[in-house]
Amino acid sequence: MELVFEKHSAASGAANVPDPGPEAEALVPPELRRAAPPALPELSELDVVRHYLALSRRQVGVDSVFYPLGSCTMKYNPKLCEEAARLPGFARLHPHAPDELCQGMLALLWNLEQRLCEICGMDAFTLAPMAGAQGEWTGLLLVRAYHRARNDARTEVLVPDSAHGTNPASAAMAGFEVRAVASNDDGEVDLAALRNAVGPKTAALMLTNPNTLGLFETRIKEIAAVLHQAGALLYYDGATLNAICGVARPGDMGFDIVHVNVHKTFATPHGGGGPGAGPVGVKARIAPFLPAPRIVREGERFARAEASPQSIGRVGAFGGNAGILIRAYAYLAMLGREGVTRVAQHAVLAARYLAARLAPDFPSAYDRPCMHEFVATPSAAILGKGVKTLDIAKRLIDCGFHPPTVYFPMIVHEALMVEPTETETKERLDAFVAAMHVIAAEALATPEKLKAAPENAPVGRVDEVKAARELVLTYDMAR
């Protein structure tokens, strides 16, 4: 389809903006004046709307199809939450407005912090981080500040080899050296390897639980003890919180710092890649290091306070992605106590059911009960035909499904990581199983059909090699 730069109409959106006249621009001194105007589109408003509507038809989201993207928790995004964030009292609220005039907003954020504390078993939360990875970075700066305050300059962060790439990347950005810890044959952290790796230089271990294989770390309390005995902290990557929220709490497992991805567990939309929010919770002894602003309650009044002198500082210009946090608050308010637990139960049930139904063609990588997601691989017979996980993913597109996460975690060969979430019906789960079964049969009979997939998408298989070799990152680079 055409790019917006390839369309033109004499009428343009400028018609809606009053012209302040030439005398305004004359206020710009000649040496500061832009020589030629930027080449922005010139289209009527209707043509712009048509262009973007056409784009939206070339895109799928959770609202379009089943989207079992492992490690991303692609659950339904309730529409009331969208409405709530758009209420003028929130949407038109300037972040520098005086606290006295935004008590509703501050009350909401304060209450959200309290609820996250309760769900995670933590003593204090900050809502400032703007995504999961920023939460990790914030958390690791907290780790650094905590040890420094004790005159204990620890330099290493341990990360399991199955971890999300953000874990080592965040640790590096926070100034730590990263050491990988191997997983054992059960897919859990290898305790012997962990004991060997932990020492006086260890600042923290970053862990998801359930881990990225969808397996619960059953020896989590032993893991916590190993870290704590060595004077190190235990960091919880909340990417998989949907499996346990309302059932078990990271704080009770021995985690000292957590981040939660509200765009995963708390149903805020993923936005085509963002924005999300990554609130960070801590145990009391780490609370003095939290970033500004802190939301405080004084009787019935709420206020934004500067952080303590020990704080790591600020992690963003304002107090976080408030527009996203409003959605999370509304979602939690609807779920309530029983609803939160039910979410985890149904998410795990759906995954366990899918894992069992898919096993004949796509056996799980680990023969253990999964939590809210699982990692499978194509059967030996399928791989024997030269069919790759990527081919299966592309064929699923033809069947009307968004593919699962592929090739992650890296420790599983040809991985397919499936996370159905609690918001899909049994009929939909069964339809997915049926489609995967058909694809498995095709893989054996007509593997070339999978190699040629997708057939029914807006475009055929996209040449990513050409994209990287012949970089075209703007329309001007194409010409």
Partner 1 sequence: MSTIPEELRYTREHEWVRVDGDVATVGITDFAQSQLGEIIYVELPPVGRAVAARAVIAVVESVKAASDVYAPVGGEVIESNAKLIEEPGGLNRSPYGDGWLVKLRVANPAEAEALLAPDAYAAIAKE
Partner 2 sequence: MPFVSLTDADVEAMLGELGLGSLDALFAHVPEDLRRHAFALPPGRTQLEVERELEALATRNDRAAGAVCFLGGGAYDHHVPAALREILRRGELYTAYTPYQPEIAQGMLQALFEYQTMLARLAGLDVANASLYDGATACLEALGLAVRHTNRTRVVVDANLNPRWRDVIKTGAAGMGLTVVEVPGGGLAQGRDPAAPAAAVDTSTAALLVPNPDFFGRYADLKALAQAAHAHGALLIGAAAPISMAIFEPPGAMGCDVACGEGQELGLGLSFGGPYLGFLAARKELVRRMPGRLVGMTVDSRGQRAFTLTLQTREQHIRREKATSNICSNQSLCAFAAGLYLAIMGREGLRRCAAACLAGVAALRAKLAAIPGVTLFPGTHWREFVFRTPLRAEHVCELLAAKGILAGVPLAARFGAGIWEAGDVLVAVTEKRTAEEIDAYAAALREAVTAAR
Binding partner selected for residue 68 from partner 2, partner 1, none, CB under the kind-specific 5 to 8 Å limit: none
The residues with which 207 forms a beta bridge, in sequence order, are 236
Q: Angle 322-358/79-86 helices, nearest 10 degrees?
A: 170
Least distance between partner 2 and beta carbon 46 (Å):
9
Question: Mask of contacts with partner 1, 89-128, x by CB under 8 A?
Answer: ----------------------------------------
Binding partner selected for residue 386 from partner 2, partner 1, none, CB under the kind-specific 5 to 8 Å limit: none
Size of the residue set binding partner 2 (CB under 8 A)? 207
Question: Mask of contacts with partner 2, 19-48, x by CB under 8 A?
Answer: xxx-xxx-xxx-xxxxx-xxxxxxx-x--x
What are the structure tokens assigned to 395, written together?
A: 């064929």
Find how far residue 214's CA is from the centre of its chain.
16
**Among 197-205, 216-224, 359-367, 437-445, the segment contacting partner 2 (CB under 8 A):** 216-224
Query: Which residue in the set 67, 236, 255, 362 belongs to the binding site for partner 2 (CB under 8 A)?
Result: 67
**Among 20-28, 173-181, 353-361, 462-470, the segment contacting partner 1 (CB under 8 A):** 462-470
Least distance between partner 2 and beta carbon 290 (Å):
12
End-to-end, the C-alpha distance of the chain in Å comes to 17
Least distance between partner 2 and beta carbon 155 (Å):
12
The residues with which 374 forms a beta bridge, in sequence order, are 418
Binding partner selected for residue 110 from partner 2, partner 1, none, CB under the kind-specific 5 to 8 Å limit: none
Cα(223)–Cα(219) distance, rounded to whole angstroms?
6
Tell me: does residue 465 bind partner 1 (CB under 8 A). yes
Query: Which residue in the set 140, 158, 197, 241 belongs to the binding site for partner 2 (CB under 8 A)?
Result: 140
Query: Which residue in the set 308, 310, 425, 446 belongs to the binding site for partner 2 (CB under 8 A)?
Result: 425
Dihedral sign computed on CA atoms, order 13, 16, 21, 27: negative
The residues with which 206 forms a beta bridge, in sequence order, are 235
SS3 157: strand
Least distance between partner 1 and beta carbon 467 (Å):
8
Cα(416)–Cα(403) distance, rounded to whole angstroms?
9
Cα(253)–Cα(270) distance, rounded to whole angstroms?
29
Cα(64)–Cα(346) distance, rounded to whole angstroms?
21
DSSP 476: G
What are the structure tokens assigned to 160, written together?
A: 């399991």
Q: Scan residues 433-462 and list those touching partner 2 (CB under 8 A).
A: 452, 454, 457-462
The residues with which 292 forms a beta bridge, in sequence order, are 314
Query: Which residue in the set 18, 151, 367, 380 belongs to the binding site for partner 2 (CB under 8 A)?
Result: 18
Exposed, middle or buried: residue 52 (CB in 10 Å: 0-12, 13-18, 19+)? Answer: exposed
Q: How far is CA 386 from CA 380, 416, 445, in A?
A: 10, 16, 12
Q: Scan residues 399-438 and list those touching partner 1 (CB under 8 A).
A: 407
- Let me know: does 73 contact 238? Beta carbons within 8 Å: no
Q: Scan residues 264-293 and list those touching partner 2 (CB under 8 A).
A: 267, 269-276, 278, 291-292
Tell me: does residue 479 bind partner 2 (CB under 8 A). no
Find how far residue 279's CA is from the centre of its chain.
12
Residue 62 CB coordination number (10 Å): 19
**Among 104-112, 358-366, 411-419, 431-439, the segment contacting partner 2 (CB under 8 A):** 104-112
SS3 285: helix
Residue in the structure block whose two tokens are 């922005």 = 40
**Among 115-123, 198-206, 251-259, 464-472, the segment contacting partner 1 (CB under 8 A):** 464-472
Binding partner selected for residue 377 from partner 1, partner 2, none, CB under the kind-specific 5 to 8 Å limit: none
Find how far residue 110's CA is from the centre of its chain.
23
Cα(257)–Cα(237) distance, rounded to whole angstroms?
9
Least distance between partner 2 and beta carbon 415 (Å):
13
Q: Scan residues 218-247 and list those touching partner 2 (CB under 8 A).
A: 218, 220-221, 244, 246-247
Q: Scan residues 289-318 and list those touching partner 1 (CB under 8 A).
A: none
Cα(362)–Cα(370) distance, rounded to whole angstroms?
14
Tell me: does residue 59 bind partner 2 (CB under 8 A). yes
H or E stretch including 227?
Answer: helix 220-229
**Among 62-70, 192-200, 229-237, 280-288, the segment contacting partner 2 (CB under 8 A):** 62-70
Question: Mask of contacts with partner 1, 34-73, x by CB under 8 A?
Answer: ----------------------------------------
Query: Which residue in the set 110, 169, 182, 201 belongs to the binding site for partner 2 (CB under 8 A)?
Result: 169
Tell me: does residue 380 bind partner 1 (CB under 8 A). no
- Let me know: does 442 contact 394? Beta carbons within 8 Å: no
What are the structure tokens assigned to 110, written together?
A: 């304060």
Binding partner selected for residue 185 from partner 2, partner 1, none, CB under the kind-specific 5 to 8 Å limit: none
> Which residues contact partner 1 by CB under 8 A?
407, 464-465, 468-469
